[in-house]
Amino acid sequence: MTDKIIIADCDGVLLDWEKHFNKWMVSLGYEIKHPELSEMYRMEEKYDTTPEEGRRLIRTFNESVNMGFIEPFRDARSGVAKLSEAGYTFHIITSMSDHPYSKQLRRQNLDRVFGKGHFSELICLPTAGDKHDALRKYENTGYYWLEDKAENAEVGLLFGLKSILIEHGHNKNYKNDQILRAVDWVEIVEIILNK
């Protein structure tokens, strides 16, 4: 493996999954029942559904054609371009769905949004799947691991990765001095290129 690899989650890091999911939910007749929870990670709390229904809706969305049309998250497009220009390639680990058509749509979406050649590996895990096994293959490489879910950033630490937590409402109160934080891709690029 080359030293110029960055491992990244996709949703909430590269792509704005939540925004697209919210539009889809509205198209189905759902509405945010608890606006004060609009930045919460659990969709069932936001839409006042049961956990089972929330999981079912997320899986249905993740296995639909929507996976081919999600827009970039914040300034991810320019950040990926700058890091690629500096010689980095990305390995994506996403707990979106392990359905082969979903993976193909995700790949097409990433190539459409960012251009081809930036993402040399795409690992698609089952919806809400655990990332331990996928991250284990990078153990003690010291690669950067970009994530928006604090518990997955901790898994990266467990395997000797340099975890960077992308700031969201659902992780804003999380504290861990071993995990770097970034508000946007400007900060991610600065952390990685000025290491």
pLDDT score for 1: 42
pLDDT score for 169: 86
The tens-digit pLDDT sequence of the chain (195 residues) is 458 999 999 999 999 999 999 999 999 999 887 666 656 567 777 888 898 999 999 999 999 999 999 999 999 999 999 999 999 999 999 999 999 999 999 999 999 999 999 999 999 999 999 999 999 999 999 999 999 999 999 999 999 999 999 999 889 899 999 999 999 999 999 999 997
Spatial contact of 143 and 7, defined as CB atoms under 8 Å apart: yes
pLDDT score for 44: 78
pLDDT score for 183: 96
Spatial contact of 112 and 29, defined as CB atoms under 8 Å apart: no
pTM higher than 0.85 for the full model?
yes
pLDDT score for 2: 52
Q: Is residue 133 exposed (0-12), middle (13-18) or buried (19+ Cβ within 10 Å)?
A: exposed
Instruction: Give the Cα separation of 131 and 150 in Å (integer).
Output: 12
Distance of CA 186 to the CA centre of its chain: 17
DSSP code per residue over 106-144: HHHHHHHHH-TTSEEEEEEPSTT---HHHHHTTTTS--E
pLDDT score for 47: 85
